């Protein structure tokens, strides 16, 4: 049989590839359960957060005064608030907070606490009642939990709402007025 | 297949931060020093406990923030640092109100006692200003101001005070209508 130069090169390349493949097989042997490791880099549980909105999480007393004049809030002590999620699946609140922090660039927390509020006073429009409420400035947002199996098949996809996600460091008062 | 969006979010955050810092008004406000008996300088604590002089800074900031006839909002003094879950945590002050405000000039006056710098943000309706305040001092109370003018009625007022890095200070403020 006549073997051309080109054919020789092809044969040599195929031999090299086989050798490399053999090396890979040696380095990454099949497991006893017959499953090839690292089949799907995305395998596992994922969380996606979306549609963030600011939310004042009220804590303590609603100070009300009026009509007109000034409403004053006095100091209260020991506040704590925790994340709340409405979804038909078990979820990791820490993972949701991590997802929200990377997605939105926020500084959130599973639980936020503070030792005391502070005094605050606000003028009230004539004829109206003024309200002051201390709280944590957090967020409300959508959340999606989805799971890929080791073969990269989507096996679960559930959407819900984070009804309350506290910020790690932002606290303060919200003021509003009512007619009665 | 879904792609992780975290990297894009981090880039967006970095850009926003850079833009935000560039946009800050770093001009210093005319300040008037107020004589007062003030606590000693802060010392760095090796652990996460709050500096012992912090409560004295808060008390000094409270004393400086006196009600004036033109005061619309007066917020009592609070620390720039709190202890949460056994560790030191900077506190961002954010107070907001839904209130009908007439057109005019509004001034945020911030009293800071201690060490460090704050960004102050005042929003009246759709008009807002953010500014880097003069550094807080332990031996004087320096009232720093942020001004906003509005030509239309406003339905919202917002004040945000953000510590720049670790700030050990007591902070109070008021909003005045001029």
**ipTM of the complex as predicted:** 0.72
Q: Which of A80, A104, A105 to mutate to test the interface with B (most CBs of B within 10 A)?
A: A105
Distance from CA of B139 to the nearest CA of A (A): 23
% of chain A exceeding 90 in pLDDT: 68
Listed as own residue / partner, the contacts of A114-117 with beta carbons closer than 8 Å and 24 or more positions apart are A114/A79, A114/A80, A114/A171, A114/B82, A114/B84, A114/B91, A115/A77, A115/A78, A115/B82, A115/B83, A116/A75, A116/A76, A116/A77, A116/A78, A117/A60, A117/A73, A117/A75, A117/A76, A117/A77, A117/A79, A117/A171
Distance from CA of B77 to the nearest CA of A (A): 7
pLDDT at B9: 39
Max Cα distance, chain A (Å): 108
**Nearest CB to A175; choose among B77, B90, B99:** B99
Q: Which residues of B touch A (CB under 8 A)?
A: 1-2, 5-6, 9-10, 12-13, 16, 62, 67, 71-78, 82-85, 89-100
Mind listing the pLDDT tens digit for each residue in A93-152? 999 999 999 999 999 999 998 888 899 999 999 999 999 999 999 999 999 999 999 999
What is the CA angle A29-A32-A34, rounded to 5? 80
Mind listing the pLDDT tens digit for each residue in A68-87? 999 999 988 889 999 999 99
In chain A, where the domains are located? 1-37, 44-178
pLDDT at B39: 53
Confidence band of B100 (pLDDT split at 50, 70, 90):
confident
Question: For all residues of chain A together, what is the average pLDDT?
Answer: 84
In chain B, where the domains are located? 28-177
Q: Which two tokens stand for residue B35?
A: 């004589």
B170 three-class SS: strand
How many Å apart are CA B154 and CA A152, to the nearest integer?
53
B113: Cβ contacts below 8 Å, ≥ 6 apart: B38, B39, B57, B58, B60, B61, B64, B136, B137, B138, B141, B169, B170, B171
Q: Is the pLDDT of residue B123 over 90?
A: yes
Q: Which residues of A touch B (CB under 8 A)?
A: 42, 46, 48, 56, 75, 99, 102-105, 111-115, 118-123, 125, 137, 146, 152, 167-177
pLDDT at B86: 73
**Nearest CB to B74; choose among A102, A112, A121:** A121
How many Å apart are CA B8 and CA B27, to the nearest integer?
33
**In the predicted model, what is the mean pLDDT of residues B67-89?**
87
Confidence band of B48 (pLDDT split at 50, 70, 90):
confident
Distance from CA of A33 to the nearest CA of B (A): 26
Question: For all residues of chain B together, what is the average pLDDT?
Answer: 78
Q: Which of A22-26, A118-122, B144-148, B152-156 has the highest mean pLDDT?
A: B144-148
Q: Which residue has the higher pLDDT, A48 or A32?
A: A48
Just give the CATH number of B28-177.
Answer: 2.60.120
- Alpha-helix residue ranges (DSSP H) falling in B27-178: 54-64
Confidence band of B106 (pLDDT split at 50, 70, 90):
very high
Confidence band of B89 (pLDDT split at 50, 70, 90):
confident
Q: Is the pLDDT of residue B58 over 80?
A: yes
Q: Which two tokens stand for residue A37?
A: 């490791």
**Nearest CB to B9; choose among A42, A104, A114:** A104
Confidence band of B166 (pLDDT split at 50, 70, 90):
confident
pTM for this prediction: 0.74
- Give the residue on A whose Cα is nearest the Cα of B159: A172
Q: Which of B55, B75, B56 is nearest to B66 (CA)?
A: B75
pLDDT at B82: 84
Distance from CA of A176 to the nearest CA of B (A): 5
Q: Which residue has the higher pLDDT, B34 or A159?
A: A159
């Amino acid at each position: 049989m006549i073997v051309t130069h080109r054919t020789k090169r092809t044969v040599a390349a195929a031999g090299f590839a086989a050798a490399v493949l053999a090396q890979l097989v040696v380095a990454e042997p099949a497991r006893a359960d017959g499953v090839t490791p690292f089949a799907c880099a995305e395998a596992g549980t994922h969380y996606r957060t979306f549609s963030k909105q600011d939310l004042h999480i009220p804590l303590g007393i609603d100070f009300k005064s009026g009509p007109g004049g000034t409403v004053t809030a006095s100091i209260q002590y020991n506040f704590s608030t925790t994340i709340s999620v409405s979804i038909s699946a078990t979820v990791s609140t820490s993972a949701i907070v991590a997802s929200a922090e990377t997605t939105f660039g926020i500084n959130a927390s599973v639980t936020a606490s503070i030792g005391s509020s502070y005094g605050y006073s606000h003028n009230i429009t004539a004829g109206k009642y003024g309200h002051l409420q201390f709280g944590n400035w957090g967020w409300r947002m959508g959340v999606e939990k989805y799971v890929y199996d080791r073969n990269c098949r989507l096996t679960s996809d559930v959407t819900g709402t984070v009804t309350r996600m506290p910020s790690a460091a932002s606290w303060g008062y919200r003021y509003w007025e009512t007619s009665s | 297949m879904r792609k992780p969006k975290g990297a894009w979010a981090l880039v967006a955050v970095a850009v926003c931060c850079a833009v935000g810092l560039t946009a800050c008004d770093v001009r210093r406000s005319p300040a008037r020093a107020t004589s007062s008996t003030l606590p000693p300088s802060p010392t760095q604590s090796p652990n996460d406990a709050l500096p012992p002089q912090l409560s004295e800074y808060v008390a000094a900031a409270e004393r400086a923030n006196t009600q004036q006839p033109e005061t619309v909002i007066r917020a009592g003094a609070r620390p720039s640092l709190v202890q949460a879950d056994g560790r030191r945590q900077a506190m961002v002050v954010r107070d907001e109100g839904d209130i009908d405000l007439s057109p005019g000039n509004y001034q945020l006056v911030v009293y800071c006692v201690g060490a460090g710098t704050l960004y102050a943000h005042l929003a009246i309706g759709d008009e807002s200003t953010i500014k880097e305040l003069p550094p807080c001092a332990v031996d004087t109370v320096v009232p720093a101001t942020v001004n906003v003018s509005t030509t239309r009625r406003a339905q919202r007022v917002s004040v945000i005070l953000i510590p720049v890095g670790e700030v050990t200070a007591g902070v109070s403020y008021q909003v005045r209508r001029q």
